[in-house]
């Protein structure tokens, strides 16, 4: 067997395998004899059909089967000889042979060669923060805001009020998509709508109609509206004023602080904030580590893997929209850039795992599954369900192993601490617009 390999582009390879023609003849004869013993042809007893009769009737088909059988047998040997692995589905073309030899061509993608993942130059800044008394006060204020009640008032609207309204948005005199609503509830000062909208409603009373001439921000998520001047006609239906709850025993106990004291309440809040802070910092550090690994290790990714991942991301996003009542179709091309990064990072992480023989800790896996199961009525049944099939269990193992890989990487890179505040670390970034 003679094997030659040619690099086409990126990770694409063209391999030509040349074999003796006698292999085809031997394989064809073996298949003809087997078929002769199995086939029924009128005029011959079962199992007694002459091979030459079978060849006359089915020779071309049997020869093709023989060629395919030889390819299936020899392709793994050829790949092993050249130390190559096929990614995705290869394109195979069998060539007509002569009296001495025949050949076939295989075009395929292979995995990138990654000898070592470079970590030496990586440095990250891990955010740290102390939870102060002011942080606790701000959290208590936020909890009161969550429990506030509303009552209708007969006065002009002001910041902090809640209004119920109808509005119609127009651009160049024409209504634009999703620019109108009825009985829309909006808290003035929340920053949910574009600049000028909420401010324009302050000083108006229920029953009033006002026109707001505004401009969408340049970075608005809908390209057709970005930076465009628009006109909103708004009619207020109702104005409501908020009342915050008192910090009394009943309020404190509603947060499952059984003794109802302010001291215990503050301690409980601090513990919860500490857990939230640790979780957010862990996620941020993980993101920084993975992005740094990707930035310091440039590798090619097989197109077939990127295409598959892009389709997977599109399907996941469609399912997410569908769960919220929106049936949409997304092009996988939209997710190509994200898919490329995910595939590259997966290959790098896989190399770290194999080079360092890392495995998911069984105790961590069980603890994670038990934590998930604790949210159900019959936790033991849920645990058994996860362990009943390898694909379910492997999904959990992958999650645990990814965290373990990040922890291992942190021991190999430079980690500097950056002092910050609780609020700056955990506060969500607003993404809401009208």
pLDDT at 54: 63
- 271 located within any domain: no
Asked if 313 and 397 sit in the same domain, the reply is yes
Determine how many CB atoms are found less than 10 A away from the CB of residue 434.
Answer: 20
pLDDT at 35: 73
- 431 located within any domain: no
Name residue 149's beta-bridge partners.
243
Return the CA Rg of the chain.
Answer: 34
How long, in residues, is the chain? 434
The three-state secondary structure class of 322 is helix
Whether residue 226 contacts residue 219, with contact meaning beta carbons closer than 8 Å, is answered with: yes
- 140 located within any domain: no
Within 13 Å and on the Cβ side, how many CA atoms surround 361?
Answer: 9
CATH number at residue 237: 3.10.50.40
Domain boundary among 78, 109, 140: 109
How far is CA 418 from its chain centroid? 29
Asked if 47 and 167 sit in the same domain, the reply is no
pLDDT at 431: 33
Whether residue 123 contacts residue 285, with contact meaning beta carbons closer than 8 Å, is answered with: no
- 10 located within any domain: yes
- 201 located within any domain: yes
Query: Which residue do the tokens 């002001």 mark?
Result: 158
Q: CB within 8 A of 389, min separation 6: which ones? A: none
Number of domain units in the chain: 3
CATH number at residue 105: 3.30.70.1050
Q: What is the pTM of this model?
A: 0.75
Pairing of strands 123-128, 414-419: parallel
Asked if 350 and 232 sit in the same domain, the reply is no
pLDDT at 43: 63
Name residue 243's beta-bridge partners.
149
- 223 located within any domain: yes
Range of the domain at 344: 281-426
pLDDT at 427: 82
Helix axis angle, 390-410 to 262-296, nearest 10°: 90
Asked if 177 and 101 sit in the same domain, the reply is no
Q: How far is CA 30 from CA 41, 49, 69, 75, in A?
A: 19, 14, 12, 20
Asked if 175 and 70 sit in the same domain, the reply is no
Asked if 295 and 390 sit in the same domain, the reply is yes
Asked if 154 and 230 sit in the same domain, the reply is yes
Asked if 345 and 418 sit in the same domain, the reply is yes
pLDDT at 281: 96
Rounded distance between C-alpha atoms, residue 46 and residue 22, angstroms: 29
Considering only CA atoms, which of 21, 85, 75, 19 is closest in space to residue 304? 85
Determine how many CB atoms are found less than 10 A away from the CB of residue 288.
Answer: 19
The three-state secondary structure class of 274 is helix
Considering only CA atoms, which of 213, 212, 216, 192 is closest in space to residue 201? 212
Q: CB within 8 A of 147, min separation 6: which ones? A: 244, 245, 251, 254
Pairing of strands 123-128, 87-94: unpaired
pLDDT at 289: 96
pLDDT at 429: 43
pLDDT at 25: 84
Q: What is the dihedral of CA 277, 278, 281, 283, to 10 degrees?
A: -110
Q: CB within 8 A of 173, min separation 6: which ones? A: none
Determine how many CB atoms are found less than 10 A away from the CB of residue 24.
Answer: 19
CATH number at residue 293: 1.10.3120.10
Which portions of the chain are predicted below pLDDT 50? 429-434
Asked if 211 and 325 sit in the same domain, the reply is no
- 274 located within any domain: no
Across the chain, how many H-helices and E-strands are there?
12, 11
């Amino acid at each position: 067997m003679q094997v030659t390999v040619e690099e086409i582009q990126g990770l694409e390879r063209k391999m030509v395998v040349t074999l003796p023609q006698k292999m085809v003849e031997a394989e064809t004869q073996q298949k003809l004899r087997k078929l002769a013993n199995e086939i029924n042809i009128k005029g011959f007893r079962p199992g007694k059909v002459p091979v030459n009769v079978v060849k006359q009737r089915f020779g071309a088909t049997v020869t093709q089967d023989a060629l395919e059988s030889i390819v299936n047998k020899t392709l793994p040997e050829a790949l092993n000889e050249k130390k190559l692995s096929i990614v995705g589905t290869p394109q195979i073309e069998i060539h007509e042979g002569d009296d001495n030899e025949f050949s076939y061509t295989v075009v395929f993608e292979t995995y990138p060669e990654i000898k070592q993942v470079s970590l030496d130059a990586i440095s990250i800044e891990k955010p740290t923060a102390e939870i102060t008394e002011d942080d606790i006060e701000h959290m208590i204020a936020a909890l009161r805001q969550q429990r506030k009640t509303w009552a209708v008032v007969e006065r002009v609207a002001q910041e902090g009020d809640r209004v119920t309204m109808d509005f119609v948005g127009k651009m160049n005199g024409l209504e634009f998509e999703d620019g109108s609503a009825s009985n829309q509830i909006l808290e003035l000062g929340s920053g949910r709508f574009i600049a000028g909208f909420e401010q324009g409603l302050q000083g108006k009373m229920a029953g009033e109609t006002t026109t707001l001439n505004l401009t969408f921000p340049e970075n608005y998520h809908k390209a057709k509206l970005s930076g465009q001047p628009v006109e909103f006609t708004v009619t207020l239906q109702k104005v409501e004023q908020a009342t915050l709850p008192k910090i009394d025993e009943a309020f404190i106990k509603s947060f499952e602080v059984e003794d109802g004291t302010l001291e215990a309440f503050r301690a409980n809040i601090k513990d919860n904030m500490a857990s939230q802070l640790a979780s957010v910092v862990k996620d941020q550090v993980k993101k920084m580590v993975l992005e740094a690994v990707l930035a310091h290790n440039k590798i090619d990714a097989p197109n077939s893997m990127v295409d598959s991942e892009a389709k997977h991301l599109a399907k996941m996003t469609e399912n997410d929209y569908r769960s919220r009542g929106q049936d949409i179709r997304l092009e996988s091309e939209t997710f190509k850039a994200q898919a490329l990064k995910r595939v590259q990072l997966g290959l790098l992480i896989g190399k770290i795992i194999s080079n360092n023989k890392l495995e998911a800790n069984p105790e961590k896996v069980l603890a994670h599954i038990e934590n998930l199961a604790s949210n159900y009525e019959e936790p033991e049944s849920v645990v058994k369900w996860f362990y009943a099939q390898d694909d379910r269990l492997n999904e959990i193992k992958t999650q645990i192993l990814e965290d373990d890989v990040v922890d291992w990487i942190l021991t190999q890179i430079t980690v500097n601490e950056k002092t910050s505040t609780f609020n700056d670390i955990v506060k969500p970034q607003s993404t809401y617009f009208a």
